[in-house]
Amino acid sequence: MITKSAIRAAAAVALVLATPALAQDLKLPRQKVELVAPPYAHPHEQVAKQGPKIMEFRLTVEEKRIVIDDMGTKLQAMTFNGSIPGPLMVVHEGDYVEVTLVNPETNSMPHNIDFHGATGASGGGDLTLVNPGERVVLRWKATRTGVFVYHCIPGGIGPMVPWHIASGMSGTVMVLPRDGLKDAASKPLHYDRVYYLGEQDFYVPRDAKGNFKTYDTHIDAFEDTLDAMRKLIPTHVVFNGRVGALTGKDAMPAKVGETVLIVHSQVDRDSRPHLVGGHGDYVWETGKFSNPPMTSLETWFIRGGSAGAALYTFLQPGIYGYVNHNMIEAFELGATAHFRVEGTWNHDLMTQVKAPEPVQASVSLR
């Protein structure tokens, strides 16, 4: 008797056997991309100069303990390529994204990737599940333009999924239109720099005295971390892996007159980015370039489980705060970054008419 389980198993085997033939059928040029750690992005064309390619990327899972604030709080993190967030991968519509996922034998757990920009069950998660000491290659066609998150969903069920995500396993793929970004009137838009900020909520367990706990291994941390996560109250909300990661000497540089594309992801929770002293000249709030961008926004909205993009041309020099405008999360939990902009001050846009001085007491007429 042929069971449904047998049919599903046979279908899975057929799919696996068909994959090599499909790979040979793609007569397209290949481009191997060397990924860089956020907030930076690898070199890429804003307007495609050739036809579709197979874009090759390599992601290596790294389980490691990291420090996430100036108090020395330690987290048993899980990362793609050692960074939180994982690298930004840039392709064009019609390209094929071919990712080699490596899970070194030094790791302790299985991992995979769900690509929000891909079409197929689990976003490729079922086809990329690798145990320690294994690697896998997945290819998917970029059929939709925009910025799309990717993250780990090991097994697709149970507490492993939120734990791996809350431990840092997410990143973003940007799929550009082949003819580049455009405004609502189809006028071309260009950027001089691109920065990728991954907003991450952490849930670090505390001891009976309220101090953050430290664990020797991921497994040791699991039960307490899961209990902290279920309360839905993060201990840290940060950009790029730790409090202050993009401030001070690590602030993102720019110059007056430059247009910067800001890519912002949040895999778990909603966020409200605000550029203090600047604006969103053009904002794809939902992150999809097939939709016309909104203009002149003061604050925009990033839905949990998605990425968004904003263009801004800096008009004044100085330090610009980039915050989650839930100011408690920005100032108390860490969701603050800085842009350091060089150039000449424009007094027509803003000037101090009179410097601070003592207030003169009014004279009584009685």
**Poorest-pLDDT segment among 13-22, 172-181, 305-314:** 13-22
Arithmetic mean of pLDDT over the chain: 93
Instruction: Quote the CA–CA distance of 151 and 173 in Å, as a whole number.
Output: 11
Same domain, 99 and 199: no
Whether the pLDDT of residue 108 is over 80: the answer is yes
**Would residue 348 count as lying in a domain?**
no
pLDDT in tens, 163-181: 999 999 999 999 999 999 9
Active-site residue, 218 included: no
Active-site residue, 325 included: yes
Same domain, 325 and 294: yes
Active-site residue, 298 included: yes
Confidence at residue 26, expressed as pLDDT on a 0 to 100 scale: 85
**Would residue 145 count as lying in a domain?**
yes
Same domain, 79 and 154: yes
Confidence at residue 363, expressed as pLDDT on a 0 to 100 scale: 62
Measure the CA angle with vertex 355, ends 350 and 359; round to 5°.
130
Domain CATH for 208: 2.60.40.420
Domain of 99, in residue numbers: 28-178
Same domain, 240 and 335: yes
**Would residue 15 count as lying in a domain?**
no
Instruction: Quote the CA–CA distance of 244 and 253 in Å, as a whole number.
Output: 15
Mean pLDDT of 285-307: 98
**Would residue 61 count as lying in a domain?**
yes
Lookup: tokens for 39: 């907030």
Lookup: tokens for 197: 């900020």
Same domain, 207 and 297: yes
Total tally of structural domains belonging to the chain: 2
Active-site residue, 1 included: no
**Would residue 268 count as lying in a domain?**
yes
Burial class (CB in 10 A: 0-12, 13-18, 19+), 236: buried
Write down the catalytic residue from 55, 63, 73, 151.
151
pLDDT in tens, 316-351: 999 999 999 999 999 999 999 999 999 999 999 999
Write down the catalytic residue from 62, 92, 111, 160.
111
pLDDT in tens, 114-169: 999 999 989 999 999 999 999 999 999 999 999 999 999 998 778 999 999 999 99
Same domain, 325 and 255: yes
Active-site residue, 111 included: yes
Task: Give the percent of the chain with pLDDT over 70.
Answer: 92
For 276, list phi and psi in degrees, rounded to 5. -70, 115
Write down the catalytic residue from 92, 236, 274, 338.
274
Confidence of residue 366 (pLDDT cuts 50, 70, 90): low
Same domain, 201 and 237: yes
Write down the catalytic residue from 60, 214, 259, 299.
299
Whether the pLDDT of residue 7 is over 50: the answer is no
Active-site residue, 169 included: yes
Same domain, 63 and 165: yes
**Would residue 280 count as lying in a domain?**
yes
Same domain, 59 and 117: yes
- Contact yes or no for 176/52 (Cβ under 8 A): no
Same domain, 133 and 42: yes
Whether the pLDDT of residue 39 is over 70: the answer is yes
Same domain, 64 and 144: yes
Q: Which carries the bigger pLDDT value, residue 302 or residue 20?
A: 302
Active-site residue, 299 included: yes
**Would residue 219 count as lying in a domain?**
no
Instruction: Quote the CA–CA distance of 64 and 171 in Å, as a whole number.
Output: 17
Same domain, 50 and 158: yes
Confidence of residue 10 (pLDDT cuts 50, 70, 90): very low
Write down the catalytic residue from 169, 174, 229, 252.
169
Q: Which long-range contacts (CB under 8 A, 24 or more apart) does 325-328 make?
A: 325/272, 325/273, 325/274, 325/299, 326/271, 326/272
Measure the CA angle with vertex 17, ends 127 and 101; round to 5°.
30
Q: Model-level pTM?
A: 0.91
Write down the catalytic residue from 109, 152, 160, 174.
152
Beta strand 273-275 with 193-202 is: unpaired
**Would residue 225 count as lying in a domain?**
no
